[in-house]
Amino acid sequence: MSGPDFDPVLAERIEARAWLDMYSAAAPLATAQRFGDIVARAVAAAPRARPLNGLLDVGDADLDHLEVALAFMDATGVDYNVSVRAGTDAERALLDRGMQPGYAWMKFGIDLGSAKLEPPGPGDVEVRRAGPEDGEAFGAVLAAGFELPSALAGLARNLPERPRWHCFLGLSHGEPVATGALFVADGIAWIGAGATRPDKRRLGAQSAILAARLRAARDLGCRAAFTETGERVEGKPDASYRNILRAGFGERYLRPNLVVPVRGLHTQSP
């Protein structure tokens, strides 16, 4: 599928805006700053968790801001990813300066105007919208689902009350066991914050929450939705990848995540 809504610039920008808003709401637990269009984000309490730390929306339009954004990340002391658009001068410059490819992510998109969205069938998990009163449960389940320390529940605790966010809980026998969120801006949706408690997996919670979010995005007038997960690598679990494809998303492109093997290497001369 092609078209302006599947431009990688749009896909990366909506994700970066969502993370910026999430981390801004979670301060001081998290920190985020914008350098041009680049979004830098860090969680000092999770210094080795690269998926939570790094630069987003790095492309050629922001080469003038890249050095200061990298310096900001180095100052945080965390390990981090630089998520860069493939084939750009920015990617080549980072590789030339010593960064190395890390674990890449597949970006998925769906045309909400033409997609056939089926309501979720009967299952073991009930899905409902999360309101401000559900913030504690939402944050706690998300942290548990990603096997993060309980102190990091605050990363997502405020999402159910934030403008542009639409959050969902999956319930098993009335108990919150899964989460999912939808961030909407300018007619485009980003789907993220999907997690299930380890002891409640394989109940179909994420498939049900994905379906609910896509229907909500279309009801909100969104033209397209994006999401992402780690690329398929032999030997790695790919349940999230399969859930996304079953929901109707198509693979759009592989996004490199570059890493600094030795801190400060990018500041050295080529």
pLDDT of the chain, 270 residues: tens digit per residue: 455 567 899 999 999 999 999 999 999 999 999 999 999 999 999 999 999 999 999 999 888 999 999 999 999 999 999 999 999 999 999 999 899 999 999 999 999 988 888 766 667 899 999 999 999 999 999 999 999 999 999 999 999 999 999 999 999 999 999 999 999 999 999 999 999 999 999 888 999 999 999 999 999 999 999 999 999 998 888 889 999 999 999 999 999 999 987 544 343 332
Q: What is d(CA 270, CA 262) in angstroms, rounded to the nearest whole number?
A: 14
Whether residue 169 sits in one domain with residue 68: no
Whether residue 79 sits in one domain with residue 212: no
Whether residue 95 sits in one domain with residue 172: no
Whether residue 120 sits in one domain with residue 78: no
Whether residue 119 sits in one domain with residue 102: no
Structural domain boundaries, residue 16: 4-106+255-267
Whether residue 128 sits in one domain with residue 209: yes
Whether residue 260 sits in one domain with residue 224: no
Whether residue 130 sits in one domain with residue 91: no
Whether residue 175 sits in one domain with residue 143: yes
Q: What is d(CA 47, CA 42) in angstroms, rounded to the nearest whole number?
A: 8
- For 69, residues 6+ apart whose C-beta sits below 8 A from its C-beta are 35, 38, 40, 55, 58, 62
The identity of residue 167, as a single letter, is C
Whether residue 133 sits in one domain with residue 84: no
The number of domains in the chain is: 2
Please state the φ and ψ torsions of residue 120, each to the nearest 5 degrees: -60, 140
